[in-house]
């Protein structure tokens, strides 16, 4: 339509009519004369509006879903980071608790035996000086560590210091085949020498070939002259097997060590020997025997079974 004077006049007239109808509709309220026309228009154009809405809503929902998906992804990533940090803290806490437990047990042994110790951490394992079973600890000459000092942990005897550097030291483990320590039996005072056998039990040769020894007996270190390389009273292990006495000068025992040599972490180097031999006081309490349950069987005779007297009368 061209922009002419007649078209502009028609547009003004239509706008005026529209305002007039709106005014009449508002003033009429529920009885508005244009209500019927409005309902008819709703009947005609309602389905078209619903169809357009149905077509447009999925697009809007998809856009909303994409936006929410991004938010969910961010929240998921944040939660994963929090979980990873929590797991790391828990792992660190578990390790710290384990070390604190080891340290507590070691300090308990040191207190019972009156050993002056220098705490250390195992930082390496291996054949450092040509030995098969050795560890390296993070203390050395600057910490007062010297060669031939006893090394223990919360379980018992670990080994002895063989090589000392400024900040580290090498420890020969009691499980090494070249390791030998003097031992004393609990209570019986029988003396002997324990030697390492790698991952097998320690081999102990008692000086008394007729000594009365049984499985479950326990041993501690006898001690060395001037307490080097071994201080007395450190728990060694429990007798697991006794060879039959063959009438020889010595008797052979096999001892399961208290210390697990494959899982060492916190250890202590004895830098000051006790003034008095602690003897058996450092040994852990003996485990209480578990009582075996007794089973009582009660036999009730069947009422149909004949007694001996009746059998004799019938015969």
> pLDDT tens for residues 165-202?
999 999 999 999 999 999 999 987 899 999 999 999 99
Whole-number mean pLDDT of the chain? 79
Higher-confidence residue of 229 and 248: namely 229
Give the residue-averaged pLDDT of 65-72: 55
Give the residue-averaged pLDDT of 89-110: 82
Q: 137-163: per-residue pLDDT in tens?
A: 999 999 999 999 999 999 999 999 999
Q: 11-31: per-residue pLDDT in tens?
A: 666 666 665 555 555 555 555
pLDDT of 312: 47
Whose tokens are 């437990």? That residue is 101
Whether residue 117 contacts residue 110, with contact meaning beta carbons closer than 8 Å, is answered with: yes
Task: Say how far residue 57 (Cα) sits from the centre of its chain.
Answer: 54
pLDDT of 19: 56
Q: How confident is the model at residue 52 (pLDDT cuts 50, 70, 90)?
A: very low
pTM for this entry: 0.64
Q: How far apart are CA 261 and CA 282, in angstroms?
A: 20
Q: Is the pLDDT of residue 41 over 90?
A: no
Q: How confident is the model at residue 126 (pLDDT cuts 50, 70, 90)?
A: confident
């Amino acid at each position: 339509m061209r922009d002419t004077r007649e078209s502009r006049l028609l547009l003004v007239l239509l706008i005026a009519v529209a305002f007039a109808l709106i005014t009449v509709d508002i003033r009429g309220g529920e009885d508005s004369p244009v209500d019927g026309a409005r309902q008819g228009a709703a009947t005609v154009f309602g389905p078209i509006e619903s169809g357009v809405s149905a077509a447009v809503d999925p697009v809007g929902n998809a856009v909303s879903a994409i936006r929410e998906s991004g938010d969910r992804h961010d929240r998921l990533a944040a939660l994963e980071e929090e979980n990873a940090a929590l797991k790391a803290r828990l792992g660190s806490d578990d390790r710290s608790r384990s070390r604190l437990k080891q340290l507590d047990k070691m300090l308990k042994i040191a207190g019972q035996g009156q050993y002056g110790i220098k705490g250390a951490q195992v930082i390496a394992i291996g054949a450092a000086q040509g030995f098969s079973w050795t560890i390296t600890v993070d203390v050395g000459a600057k910490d007062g560590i010297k060669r031939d000092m006893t090394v223990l942990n919360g379980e018992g005897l670990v080994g002895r210091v063989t090589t000392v550097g400024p900040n580290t030291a090498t420890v020969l483990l009691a499980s090494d085949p070249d390791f030998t320590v003097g031992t004393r039996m609990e209570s019986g005072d029988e003396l002997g020498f324990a030697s390492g056998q790698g991952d097998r039990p320690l081999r102990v040769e008692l000086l008394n070939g007729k000594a009365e020894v049984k499985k479950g007996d326990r041993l501690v270190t006898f001690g060395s002259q001037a307490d080097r390389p071994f201080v007395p009273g450190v728990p060694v292990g429990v007798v697991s097997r006794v060879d039959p006495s063959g009438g020889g000068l010595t008797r052979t025992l096999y001892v399961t060590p208290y210390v697990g040599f494959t899982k060492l972490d916190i250890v202590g180097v004895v830098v000051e020997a006790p003034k008095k031999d602690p003897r058996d006081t450092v040994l852990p309490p003996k485990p209480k025997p578990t009582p075996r349950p007794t089973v009582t069987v009660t036999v009730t005779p069947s009422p149909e079974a004949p007694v001996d007297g009746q059998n004799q009368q019938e015969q």
